[in-house]
Structure 1
Amino acid sequence: MSFEPWQWTLLVVGAAVAGFSKTGIPGTSILFVAIFPNIIPARQATGVVLPLLVLADLFAFFVYRKNLQWRRVGTLMPWALAGVLLGWWALGLVNDAQMSRVIGAILAVMLALHLWRQRGQADEAARHAPAWFAPVMGLFAGLTTMMANAAGPVMALYLLAMRLNKLEFLGTGAAFFLVINWIKVPFMVHLGLINMESFKLNLWLFPAVAAGALLGRPVVERVNQRMFESVVLVLAALAIVKLLVF
């Protein structure tokens, strides 16, 4: 792959944001989700982005390993694996534009559901989700992460609904994605989306991922819980608009 200097600049920024989104403010992932498909075709971009996310997940897991809730991860994982299989099948049937619209529509439904559940509910009541909530969110998380590495907003809505504090939010999300992204690698290799050419690009971008990940914890420590949740919701909504409109 060959790029112009301005394209390299955007790729480096996107890689740094990938790292920062895992250890800092999760919704900032909208930036790299927007950057890569505008420089690399959307399907190929999924194969380039995945190894960057795997590295960022490792950083985030190490930083927040004492804050995660394994029970939340275990509840989602079987359903997320089913979603990964569904997404693997769907990648062979839809084009880039259709893929974006489908994912955007799924996320819009998830956001509306989250806002509906939170309306007028006390924190303790909101913590007790209906039995179908985790399976649905897990399935959609697996589907969207396989199709476009775009499960961030799905997980954000799930973790916000569980009323986790910001460190538990980041730790639990890091553990979930560390597992699910490694599981996705063989599927991406099988589809030809991860190959030697894409991995060479990853090697150039790995230092930017590490720099962004190291910046995240100091930033998040300076953000209070209410602001953290508000920013995550706003960025999730922007991600939905981007997928549906652009």
Structure 2
Amino acid sequence: MITNPLFYAAAIPAVTLLGLAKGGFSGLGLLSLPLMALVVSPVQAAAITLPILIVQDVVSVWAYWRTWDKRNVVLLVSGAVAGILMGYLLAAQVPDAAIKLAVGVISIGFAIRRMLLERGATPPKAAPADTPRGLFWGWVTGFTSMIAHAGGPPFQIYVMPQKLPRDVFIGTGALLFAIINWIKVPPYMALGQFTSENLATAAVLFPVAIASTWAGVLLVRRVSGQSFYTAVYMLLVLVGAKLAYDGASALL
């Protein structure tokens, strides 16, 4: 187990952000790995984070039990399996900086465009959960989640135009990423990232993970559906900017 106090000074806020994201404030979790990477390597930070995410998934799936959209989950998981497998096979060849830059730019463009359309004289109608786009964005979600831990924005790009009820949107994401995180366990084991030190450190942070996820659930339920979607679009712009900046900085 890591005993350095500096690690926990960064890890506790990072896990709290993950919990708020799992509770419904999508996007905040992407700030957690950069925080933890200030005190440990990015690879170790990711290995410590995955068991924490799995514990948080239990809380979020339970909190939004049966409020997910089954068709979306089936389509996205089907695509995500192929994306995770390709991410595992290409982990050494594909720079995560390039993935972050691409996802960041696409996320910013999508979110700004949608906000402008929503505020127009005739807001767009809800988009259907169609098979080709569902499989494609599921693949992107799985691939970016495996390579750069950035699966949230692709999921949002596909699902948000459907204008699902707030809890259904959150519940769909909760179940999807719970499944994705379990699928990622064998690749992480194969890559040798689940050491006893990393697992013990993750276990110490479990109470913070559970409490912060519940806090996210309680806070998001105080927000109206329309305000929630506006907040998520704004978070998507900020997260996209963060991803684009990190990717461009690393590539340059």
Structure 1 length-normalised TM: 0.89
State yes or no: 1:146 paired with 2:146: yes
Amino acid at match of 2:57: D
**Contact preservation (8 Å) 1:107, 1:154:** no
Farther-moved stretch of structure 1 (177-186 vs 101-110): 101-110
CA offsets 1:78-106 (integer angstroms, 9 cap, x no match): 11111101111121224xxx313323313
| Alpha-carbon distance in 2 for matches of 1:235, 1:53 | 20
Match of 2:170 in 1: 170
Match of 2:99 in 1: 102
Give runs of aligned pairs for residues 66-215 of structure 1, distance below 5 A. 66-94=66-94, 98-113=95-110, 116=113, 119=117, 122-123=123-124, 125-128=125-128, 132-215=132-215
Match of 1:52 in 2: 52
Farther-moved stretch of structure 1 (54-63 vs 232-241): 232-241
| Residues 1:93 and 1:43: Cα distance change in structure 2 (over 3 Å) | farther
Q: Which runs of 5+ in 1 are unaligned?
A: none
1:21 to partner: Cα distance: 1.0
**Contact preservation (8 Å) 2:111, 2:233:** no
**Contact preservation (8 Å) 1:47, 1:188:** yes
Farther-moved stretch of structure 1 (193-202 vs 171-180): 193-202
| Alpha-carbon distance in 1 for matches of 2:8, 2:203 | 13
Q: Which runs of 5+ in 2 are unaligned?
A: 247-252
Structure 2 length-normalised TM: 0.87
Amino acid at match of 1:138: G
- Corresponding residue SS for 1:128: coil
Q: Root-mean-square deviation (CA), in Å?
A: 2.2
| Alpha-carbon distance in 2 for matches of 1:111, 1:165 | 23
| Alpha-carbon distance in 1 for matches of 2:101, 2:84 | 17
